[in-house]
Amino acid sequence: MLHEPGNQHIETDKAAAKKAKLGVKMFIIYTLVYAGFVFIGLTKPEWMGLRALGEQNLAIVYGFGLIILAIIMGFIYNYFCTRMEDKLNKH
Amino acid sequence: MIYQTSNLAIIIFLFIVGLVLGLSFYFARKTKSAASYYAAGGKIHWFVNGIAFAGDYLSAASFLGICGMIAYSGYDGFLYSIGYLAGWVVALFLVAEPLRKLGKFTFTDALDSKFNSKSIKLAASISTLIVSIFYLIPQMVGAGDLVVPLLGLPHWTGVVIVGTIVIFIVAQPV
């Protein structure tokens, strides 16, 4: 194997620009939700101890919510990207 | 705490190490280009690729570091695991698609293809090495910590054994 810069032949993907744009939008959505978590932690840390769902406090619900949201958004991103590729690269 | 050497643990450890080395030798022979080295020529099934990604994330830092931090610091330790997922979101939404579009596998290659500047390439290479060193140190410490109770060997032995195995797997001639 040569130690040259990695390069691969990519077939023209007409959906690439739209996928990148969708990625940026979804990133902004996640960042806003994440920023809310950080903001509460910085300014009103006592809120984190409040009960939010059943016996669980806001810190646990929001924290696990962020983890689950990332996974769900990954699935959504994959779904829309696949649909765009199928639609725009048909011919 | 004093740990005793367990023959069974050593056999299992050697079996797993042998299996990993065997697999890496087998697939290294099939590796002919940078594309096959980094992404197996794009021929890996999505499910297998997903397991490989999970393997990347389940490092010593996540297995030992996060568990230990939650044990010692409670909720404050748990916050770090959210940071992992935030990093994954950045990689998925912002980095993956542009990198794929460029046909590159590393950040340095992508920057080089865009700017064609030796200084940028040098800066990216140095920062990659610095980040890798600070990532490797806790991984190696974690490996040493695992070897002490599992095999009953001194900490430094674990660091040397695991470090040697990893170097051997990654740098073996093709």
What's the ipTM? 0.74
Which chain B residue's Cα is nearest to A13?
A: B101
Q: Is A51 helix (H, G, I), strand (E, B) or coil?
A: strand
Interchain CB distance below 8 Å, A20 and B88: no
B114, B139: one domain: yes
Residue B174 has pLDDT above 60, yes or no: no
Interchain CB distance below 8 Å, A20 and B82: no
Query: Which pLDDT score is estimated for B80?
Result: 78
Query: Which pLDDT score is estimated for B7?
Result: 81
B148, B165: one domain: yes
B117, B151: one domain: yes
Within 13 Å and on the Cβ side, how many CA atoms surround B65? 18
B117, B174: one domain: yes
pLDDT digits (tens, 9 = 90+) for B16-54: 889 988 888 888 787 777 777 777 777 788 888 888 888
Interchain CB distance below 8 Å, A23 and B94: yes
Q: Produce one character per residue of A66-82: b if its CB has 16 or more CB atoms within 10 Å, e if not.
A: bbebbeebbeebeebbe
Q: Residue B1's pLDDT band (boundaries 50, 70, 90)?
A: low
C-alpha pair distances (Å), B116 with each of B38, B104, B119: 22, 14, 9
B73, B135: one domain: no
B62, B118: one domain: no
B125, B78: one domain: no
Query: Which pLDDT score is estimated for B105?
Result: 81
Query: Which pLDDT score is estimated for B86?
Result: 81
Q: What are the chain B neighbours of A6 within 8 Å (beta carbons)?
A: 34-35, 37-38, 104-106, 109
Q: Residue type for B174, please?
A: V
Structural domain tally of chain B? 2
With a CB cutoff of 8 Å and minimum separation 6, the contacts of A9 are B103
B96, B112: one domain: no
Q: Which residue has the higher pLDDT, B87 or A30?
A: A30
Provide the domain limits for residue B88: 44-103
B117, B167: one domain: yes
CA gap B32, A86 in Å, rounded:
31
Within a domain: B37: no
Residue A28 has pLDDT above 90, yes or no: yes
**DSSP state for residue A5 in the 8-state scheme:** P
B170, B111: one domain: yes
Domain boundary residue, one of B103, B123, B151: B103
Q: Please tell me which of the candidates B75, B94, B113 has its beta carbon nearest to residue A27.
A: B94
pLDDT digits (tens, 9 = 90+) for B104-137: 888 888 888 888 888 988 898 899 899 989 888 8
Interchain CB distance below 8 Å, A66 and B85: yes
Within a domain: B36: no
B110, B26: one domain: yes
Query: Which pLDDT score is estimated for A7?
Result: 60
To the nearest whole Å, the CA of B142 is away from the closest chain A CA by 24
Q: For residue B85, which of A27, A20, A53, A49 has the smallest C-alpha distance?
A: A27
Per-domain boundaries in chain A: 16-88
Give the residue-averaged pLDDT of B141-159: 83
B130, B90: one domain: no
Mean pLDDT of the residues in chain B: 82
